[in-house]
Amino acid sequence: MLRGISQHVLNFQVLNFNDIGVSMGRSLFFSRLIRLCVLGLILLGSGAAAQADEARTGSDAAYAKLMHLGQMALAKDAPKKAALAFAKARRFAPTDLRAQLSLAEAYARQGQVGRSEAFLKHLLRDPAQGDHVDAYLKALSKLQHRYPFVASASVALLPSTNIANSSSETVFDTLLGRFEIDGGGEETTGVGVEFGARGTYRTPLSEGLSLEIGAGLNRIWYEAPELRYWRGRVTADVVGVDPSAEWRGGIHADRIYYDALTGQSSDRIALGAHGTWSQTVNDTTRFTLSALAEYRDYLDKDSLSGPYASLGAGWSKALGPDAPQGATLSWGGSVERSKPSLDYHRYWGASARVGYAQNLTDTLRGGVTMSATLKLYDADFAAVDYARHDEIYRFGVSLSDSRIKLLGSTPKLSCGYKVQSSNIALYTSSTTDCRLGWSYRF
């Protein structure tokens, strides 16, 4: 009996040891399998790291080669070729200060000082380039010190369906009776030409702060002699720039001169002050504030002389990734006050506007704008028992194609349809005005 029990116990023990042996074998197998997997991952990681190091080494070599080519091109006085090399180098190192400043230098050496400044200001506003703010400000100051004088020229064609802005009404009813409006209902189609030139002298006051003195002269010419005039403008501004904002404030003098008229003309002199302030709100939105105050002296029409002031605000927003490429939305408004000596010409005005622009193709960009203006006058108009009230509505479109170049600049076509309604028939009109303009900075 005992022998039988012992035999069963022995058999039980043997069976348990056999199970343990099997378990140990399986554990050893899985352990080796895990080690092999870990070793494989290590080898894969090492290979990926080696490939990354190789790619990085290749990028570094390409960057160094392009920078060398750019510097050699500058040394040989070939800034255009240098700019191409530096621009390619920036693709390998977008935040590299040396490539950025070299590209700005190449632009300036081409005679494109305005482009160089715009590029540096773009970098200054880019949050990703925040480590180089001081370097950009120093570069801007050095650029203005080396190139203190910049100039620009412009020309524009000005086709219009109503070049004289004639009233669309033919008669004016007053308390004294009905009068025919001279030229009323006789809209004249024509094309004007505008030529312009401007020069600006800049001197840095400190990093991010400069003094600018400018002078400009424009000539507007139409076939009708009474519409031809000259306009000159002189300005003196203090200009400031930092990573989030740009501002300017100063004084100005304007002169408009109708050279072909022998009688009363709209010749005037305006003296005043102006200012603008532009602030980055976030990565896509920018806010702008502008102000103007001046005294307008009409040399042949004393009743129109008096102070004028305006205040405007605007926003521009780059739309998100779901919007068409380069799409921007802008909106804003302004208020104005004109107070000439004759009371029924004094008015308060308010305007609202909205605009949208986008890239239509890789080279073609188009935009639309809409605006509305209301003017309320202070006193009863002459010969009637009510004050003047004007409403002005405008719809405009614009188009430019970067494939079209004139001396390195792209012309822009803009057209607008304007309807002005007024309770004074003299000022009711409608017109379609266009402008095909081109400007060049050198």
Q: Is 211's pLDDT higher than 90?
A: yes
Query: Could you tell me the pLDDT band of residue 293, with boundaries at 50, 70 and 90?
Result: very high
Query: Could you tell me the pLDDT band of residue 169, with boundaries at 50, 70 and 90?
Result: very high
Could you tell me which residue, 28 or 311, shows the higher pLDDT? 311
Among the listed residues 301, 408, 315, the one whose alpha carbon sits nearest the alpha carbon of residue 354: 315
Q: How much is the mean pLDDT over the chain?
A: 87
Spatial distance between the Cα atoms of 112 and 417, rounded to a whole number of angstroms: 35
pLDDT of residue 6: 38
Q: Is 267's pLDDT higher than 50?
A: yes
pLDDT of residue 320: 79
pLDDT of residue 37: 59
R_g (Cα) of the chain, nearest Å: 36
Q: Is 433's pLDDT higher than 60?
A: yes
pLDDT of residue 128: 85
pLDDT of residue 441: 73
Q: Which of the 8 DSSP states describes residue 321?
A: T
Q: Is 390's pLDDT higher than 90?
A: yes
Query: Could you tell me the pLDDT band of residue 10, with boundaries at 50, 70 and 90?
Result: very low
Residues 6 or more apart whose Cβ sits within 8 Å of residue 81: 73
Q: Is 388's pLDDT higher than 90?
A: yes
Range of weakest confidence among 15-24, 238-247, 409-418: 15-24
Spatial distance between the Cα atoms of 351 and 354, rounded to a whole number of angstroms: 11
> Rounded to the nearest 5°, which phi and psi values hold at 362?
-65, -25
Range of weakest confidence among 191-205, 289-303, 401-415: 401-415
Secondary structure percentages of the chain, helix, strand, coil, to 5: 35, 45, 20
Express as a percent the part of the chain with pLDDT over 70: 86
pLDDT of residue 332: 98
Whether 151 contacts 199, CB under 8 Å: yes
Spatial distance between the Cα atoms of 253 and 217, rounded to a whole number of angstroms: 12
Distances (CA, A) of 116 to 93, 121, 136, 197: 19, 9, 11, 21
Q: Is 52's pLDDT higher than 50?
A: no
Question: Which of left, alpha, beta for 123 (phi over 0: left; psi -120 to 50: alpha)?
Answer: alpha
Q: SS3 for 329?
A: strand
pLDDT of residue 111: 83
Among the listed residues 151, 152, 150, 125, the one whose alpha carbon sits nearest the alpha carbon of residue 136: 125
> Residue written as tokens 């554990």?
27
pLDDT of residue 29: 53
pLDDT of residue 60: 82
pLDDT in tens, 219-232: 999 999 989 999 99
Query: What's the rounded mean pLDDT across residues 295-315?
Result: 96
Could you tell me whether strands 328-338 and 306-318 are parallel, antiparallel, or unpaired per DSSP bridges?
antiparallel
pLDDT in tens, 173-201: 999 899 999 888 888 999 999 999 999 99
Query: What's the rounded mean pLDDT across residues 391-406?
Result: 92
For the chain, give every residue range classified as CATH 1.25.40.10. 1-147
Range of weakest confidence among 273-277, 286-290, 360-364: 360-364
422, HSE (Cβ side, Cα atoms, 13 Å):
19
Spatial distance between the Cα atoms of 380 and 372, rounded to a whole number of angstroms: 24
Q: Which of the 8 DSSP states describes residue 381?
A: P
pLDDT in tens, 130-148: 889 999 999 999 999 999 9
For the chain, give every residue range classified as CATH 2.40.160. 151-188+274-441
* Fold classified for 151-188+274-441: Porin (2.40.160)
**Structure tokens that stand for 195 in this block:** 């030529």
**Structure tokens that stand for 167 in this block:** 């009233």
**Structure tokens that stand for 34 in this block:** 């895990």
Range of weakest confidence among 3-17, 82-96, 137-151, 156-170: 3-17
CA angle in degrees (0–180, nearest 5) for 354-355-356: 140
Could you tell me whether strands 209-221 and 171-174 are parallel, antiparallel, or unpaired per DSSP bridges?
unpaired
pLDDT in tens, 317-368: 999 777 788 899 999 999 999 999 999 999 999 999 999 999 999 889 999 9
**Structure tokens that stand for 258 in this block:** 């109708």
Q: Is 259's pLDDT higher than 70?
A: yes
Q: Is 46's pLDDT higher than 80?
A: no
> Rounded to the nearest 5°, which phi and psi values hold at 407?
55, 40
Whether 417 contacts 395, CB under 8 Å: yes
Residues 6 or more apart whose Cβ sits within 8 Å of residue 380: 344, 386, 387
Query: What's the rounded mean pLDDT across residues 149-173?
Result: 93
pLDDT of residue 24: 43
CA angle in degrees (0–180, nearest 5) for 233-238-241: 120
* Fold classified for 1-147: 1.25.40
Query: Could you tell me the pLDDT band of residue 402, with boundaries at 50, 70 and 90?
Result: confident
Q: Which of the 8 DSSP states describes residue 157?
A: E
